[in-house]
Amino acid sequence: RKEVEQDPGPFNVPEGATVAFNCTYSNSASQSFFWYRQDCRKEPKLLMSVYSSGNEDGRFTAQLNRASQYISLLIRDSKLSDSATYLCVVNFPGYSSASKIIFGSGTRLSIRP
Amino acid sequence: DADVTQTPRNRITKTGKRIMLECSQTKGHDRMYWYRQDPGLGLRLIYYSFDVKDINKGEISDGYSVSRQAQAKFSLSLESAIPNQTALYFCATSEGSDTQYFGPGTRLTVL
């Protein structure tokens, strides 16, 4: 089983739709969780951190479910500009003084007019 | 100006050649990382450094070496490039185990 697993998609939805995707992680002791966005041929950029209580930033909502070991990202009222690959990132408990940061392979989202 | 820069942005080289990819940052972060990205495999960690005197192997370090010349500079070398090292390479920095900030990437092709 992969340490961090995402549905690769692509998710192809119409503009204005609500779309959600999940990311599962294998280590129950994981501490921190993030969603990054990556546009084609560009570098990943932080979209939002995922807190235990869940968090919302405009049209984006991130949730953490520790019991089932997954995080989710919900995008409401999707825009054409939301088309990108969304990377799930999990911080695993460390070896030595380091945490181990694992990236999922990404979920591709395509918004159509 | 960008906080994390990488040079070169694109490079085509031949099998067996030595190549160095450079990364500089102005964020003042102690931690720096090198990743490669391949289609369908996501980002995989090659090496990371938590300060100038600290270098650690990542998931896929074979065939690569690194040098942390200063807090702001972290370079990645391929001593003898091979075609399966063709990939998109990203440098990143972070403050602690917090958010990572990525450079724009280097597209490397090994013929």
Contacts of B109 (CB under 8 A, 6+ apart): B11, B12, B13, B86
All residues of chain A having their beta carbon less than 8 Å from the beta carbon of residue B41 are 105
pLDDT confidence of residue A3 = 87
Question: Given B41, B90, B103, which is nearest A105 (Cβ)?
Answer: B41
3-state secondary structure A18-30: CEEEEEEECCCCC
C-beta atoms of B99 and A32 within 8 A? no
| Largest pairwise CA distance in chain A | 49
pLDDT confidence of residue A31 = 81
pLDDT class of A9 with cuts at 50, 70, 90: confident
pLDDT confidence of residue B41 = 78
pLDDT class of A94 with cuts at 50, 70, 90: low
* Residue B4 reports pLDDT greater than 70: yes
- Note the pLDDT tens digit of each residue in B54-76: 999 988 999 999 999 999 999 99
> Helix and strand tally (H, E) in chain B?
0, 11
Tell how far CA A60 is from the center of its chain. Answer: 11
Residue B41: which of A3, A63, A62 has the closest Cα? Answer: A3
Per DSSP, A82 falls in state G
Residue B88: which of A85, A8, A109, A94 has the closest Cα? Answer: A85
All residues of chain B having their beta carbon less than 8 Å from the beta carbon of residue A94 are 97
Question: Given B42, B45, B50, which is nearest A106 (Cβ)?
Answer: B42
* Residue A96 reports pLDDT greater than 60: no
Chain A contact present for B40, CB below 8 A: yes
* Residue A98 reports pLDDT greater than 60: no
CB contact at 8 A, B20 and B11? no
All residues of chain B having their beta carbon less than 8 Å from the beta carbon of residue A98 are 48, 50, 56, 97
pLDDT confidence of residue B90 = 97
